[in-house]
Amino acid sequence: MNYNISKVGVPCQTPPFMVNLSVPHPPAFSYANSTHLSSNLTMVTGYINLGKFKKGEADLFYTNDMYKGWMRRLAKIRNFMVIFVEENITDAIFREARSYLPSSFTKIIHIKRNDLWGFKLENSIKNIYDAPCYPKFHPNTVMASYSCVMQSKYDMMGMAVQKNYFQTKYFSWVDIGCFRDQPENGPPFSLGLPKKFNEERVAYTEVYSRRTNVNCQDIVFNNLVWVGGPYFVGRGDVMLAWVTQYQSYVYNMLHSGLMSTDQQVIYCMFNARPQPSSVKIQVYKAQEEHHDWFTLGYLSKRNR
């Protein structure tokens, strides 16, 4: 389904945003010249079970069992890893799959979805999605809970950086399915910073070229994508500032009666006028040999 905003005569009327939640302030210090932090990379991930849901317009459905298989592949990463889980079975899968590593490499945090910042937005997002005129892209603008998971990535990242369990300088978010194409029984590997990484920015994969002549409603109603959300990386202080900037912009979109996934939020943010004056994005162009959407993860891969 394709919505061309230029042909819509009456703007879509969506409910006003009614929730007032605080956004944490980023730290005043810089990691740039820190002497007590290692130059290692902490991986951050999380899983909230949404059951079976439709993905895209074809007859493709994602299931809990599918994610369980991806978890075992993700566990092959040798880096320090912070994992947010809601169910004991997720905890057990990661502990077993990462048992080849010292236990000190893994921090598993049990959470309840309703305690996450993203899920506190669920009613407001659902009200927007329920508007008859709102586009239906599965699951982005159909399942409010799916959008909540995408927003909660930034909440989880913020908590992991603030705690800095492994005292590292750099952090990356990795979706459960980011390395889905790796063999489940393949060798372990590690992740590092991509080449030519700019420490003052947060890096993402550029999936499609950015179109500067589209506004936020165009982006959401046509499901446009600029950067992919499965993997992003940054220095700790920059990442915390980015989380704050991202969450603040989510409120802006909700007040405008718009929401989708983090990919559309970021596109809207950088097509806004004026652009954000704080954290900028560094892009690495998607490459087919590196699985397109997951390019930055593969560019960061080290076979050791």
- CA separation for the pair 191, 288 (Å, rounded): 19
**Interior angle at CA 239, CA 302 and CA 137, nearest 5:** 85
- CA separation for the pair 191, 184 (Å, rounded): 17
Q: Is 5's pLDDT higher than 50?
A: no
Q: Note the pLDDT of residue 8.
A: 34
- Distant-in-sequence, close-in-space partners of 119: CB < 8 Å, separation ≥ 6: 113, 145, 148, 152
- 190-191 and 301-302 beta bridge pairing: antiparallel
Q: Is 4's pLDDT higher than 70?
A: no
pLDDT tens digits, one per residue of 156-197: 999 999 999 999 999 999 999 999 999 888 899 999 999 999
Taking a C-beta distance cutoff of 8 angstroms, is the pair 239, 169 a contact? no
- CA separation for the pair 142, 124 (Å, rounded): 13
Domain 38-302: which CATH number of 1.10.3470, 3.40.50, 1.10.1060, 3.90.550: 3.90.550
For residue 145, what are its two tokens?
A: 């809970």
The runs of H, that is alpha helices, within 109-215 are: 122-129, 144-163
Q: Note the pLDDT of residue 228.
A: 98
pLDDT tens digits, one per residue of 31-57: 777 778 999 999 999 999 999 999 998
- Distant-in-sequence, close-in-space partners of 304: CB < 8 Å, separation ≥ 6: 78, 189, 190
For residue 275, what are its two tokens?
A: 């652009």
Q: Note the pLDDT of residue 152.
A: 98
Which of 191, 179, 184, 137 has its CA nearest to residue 293? Answer: 179
For residue 66, what are its two tokens?
A: 């599918």
Determine the distance from the C-alpha atom of residue 5 to the mean position of all C-alpha atoms in its chain, rounded to a whole number. 26
Q: What is the mean pLDDT of the chain?
A: 90
- CA separation for the pair 200, 170 (Å, rounded): 12
Q: Note the pLDDT of residue 62.
A: 97
Q: Note the pLDDT of residue 203.
A: 99
